[in-house]
Amino acid sequence: MSASPGAYRDASSDLIASDIEAYLHEHEHKSLLRFITCGSVDDGKSTLIGRLLYESQMVFEDQLAALHHDSKTSGTQGGELDLALLVDGLAAEREQGITIDVAYRFFSTEKRKFIVADTPGHEQYTRNMVTGASTADLAIILIDARRGVLTQTRRHSFLVSLLGIRKVVLAVNKIDAVDYSQEVVETIDKEYREFAAGIGLTDIVTIPTSALKGDNVLVRSENTPWYEGPTLLGHLEAVPNSEETQHGPFRMPVQWVSRPDLDFRGFAGQIAGGSVRPGDSVRVLPSGRVSTVARIVTMDGDLEQAQAPQSITLTLTDEVDVSRGDVLAAADDSPEVADVFEATVIWMGETELATGRPYLLKIGARTVTATVSKPDHKVDVNTMEHLPADTLGLNEIGVCTIRLDRPVPFDAYAVNRDMGGFILVDRLTNNTVGAGLLRKALRGSDNVHWQATDVGKAAHIAMKGQKPCVVWFTGVPSSGKSTIANLVEKQLFAQGKHTYLLDGDNLRHGLNKDLGFSPEDRMENIRRVGEVARLMVDAGLIVLVTLVSPYRAERDAVRARMEDGEFFEVFVDAPLSVVQERDPKGLYRKASAGEATNVTGIDSPYEAPENPELRLPTAEMSAEEASANVLGLLAEAGILNP
């Protein structure tokens, strides 16, 4: 028996007329289930969602009138009511009868609220499917009973498993087209379960349905007397939503530091895992400082306990340094902190992944600079085979090593989706070009936390009686960086200042001896020198760095690691003709003879600073004049006379 329009009614809606406040209270406290529908093209995903909306009376009268009109002009049911049009909102979707974008719809029943994402079936829109699945608790995998398990069925199931969805409804749709055959359903069920077990999907409920006619969608169908399981809506109302994070250790990325007045300092965010109470000991990451929760503050007053996914403000008993992007976590069960990861990357950019080039990586409330290595392999989502790859193109998935410019707290995605999921953003266009799942930390960074010390930066500064900073000399080889920096240090030393000169060539004899001159190695060279310079600033020193450092983004990343007023970029600017004439090391001569490669300015690019604190045109001034300009910059900034 098929459902008649409006056969399933949300009884709580009767309260609207009699007691609106009671209705709102009841509605507010219903549980929420987020789910997606996915499958191959024309399996009936949009029709199924339209059926749920229509039968649960979540379609307004004006929408219903428009649906009747559009069904006659754009429908695929010969003028009859086409429920798919409730979801397929784009003109291109209606013209082609397919889903292109992710369509989100909300509906509710007496027992629960739902947010459903209708995701595209076409392979070229895999990235859209990933977007819809990233927040879902459950996936409805539709299979056309006439066609059985297809390649796209396997592809979407793999993505569902990859993105951490463990509850699956296998909706064998269009069962009316195969005369409600029990044998067809059992054959499809057996084949799908054998495949799904291999990718970690075991929590599967198979339901024979007809989205078009309503069989087993909202009410039990008389056409399938052999089926004894739940209806689709009945299962959606009863299935537990994701509660794993509620029972795990406490995690809360700080989204905002609240300072409404001088007497209050709170840390606001959404709990990403576990629960918290006043008196709990928490660790601030990545700093490693430990404090105690004083209050849990909300708009409705203080709470005695809060748990994921509530949004709250915490106050601590100690005046510890906490900033946006930090994570408050259970002190005795903290997440890892690392800057190098093995990650699964899903590429969404029209332009393929540029390995070794910097991207912005956003994880939680923190944004850092990241470089992605050549993939260890990419996954053929049709066969699950691991294939060699030099890069990733649109909709491709691979396992890569990702290096960040600073450590971040994280949990593996399989443990906590909020703490292990990230997106990659192109630095120039600001487009999201990739999504990823952190698998594990690399390079021995497991369970390593920053160790707080009693003698800190302020103590070093007070003892030396000076304001520390980094003066970063950048420019092509032979532009005069080392000569000028050497003169500056001699004069600072004569004034009694505590300094250190980090010369790029000298560092390649020891600290960076293992690095070559590929783009990836140059980025790592800059990162290491930047970290050493930052530590020296913590020790209270004036640090002079002479490094070609050809990439603007990497220099900016070093600046971002310093406090305001501690980083001075000095562009030692010399024309290529001048440096080729100087050529004290014979580098340009070797490049011209083909004896040297990756020479900056010849066959390797140099990105000049856009807004340096100081530009030194060394073709127009002597080294002594240039050093005097640097000292003038430091004097004006208050470094020489703090």
Active site residues: 549
Phi and psi torsions of 598, nearest 5°: 60, 40
- Whether residue 338 contacts residue 407, with contact meaning beta carbons closer than 8 Å, is answered with yes
Phi and psi torsions of 91, nearest 5°: -60, -40
SS3 at position 106: strand
* Three-state DSSP string of 138-179: EEEEEEECCCCCCHHHHHHHHHHHHCCCCEEEEEEECHHHHC
Q: Give the span between the Cα atoms of 581 and 591, in whole angstroms.
A: 13
Contacts of 501 (CB under 8 A, 6+ apart): 485, 486, 489, 543, 544, 546
- The CA-atom distances, in angstroms, between 574 and each of 166, 219, 484, 504, 621 are 60, 79, 13, 18, 10
Phi and psi torsions of 625, nearest 5°: -65, -40
Residue listed under structure tokens 């909306």: 53
SS3 at position 587: helix
Q: Give the span between the Cα atoms of 586 and 626, in whole angstroms.
A: 24
What DSSP element (H or E) covers 635?
Answer: helix 623-636
Q: Which of 213, 162, 154 is nearest to 188 (CA)?
A: 154
What DSSP element (H or E) covers 490?
Answer: helix 481-494
- Whether residue 84 contacts residue 43, with contact meaning beta carbons closer than 8 Å, is answered with no
- Whether residue 199 contacts residue 159, with contact meaning beta carbons closer than 8 Å, is answered with no
Torsion of CA 91, 97, 99, 104, to 10 degrees: 70
SS3 at position 329: strand
Contacts of 324 (CB under 8 A, 6+ apart): 254, 255, 256, 257, 365, 366
Check residue 565 and give left, alpha or beta (phi > 0: left; psi -120 to 50: alpha). Answer: left
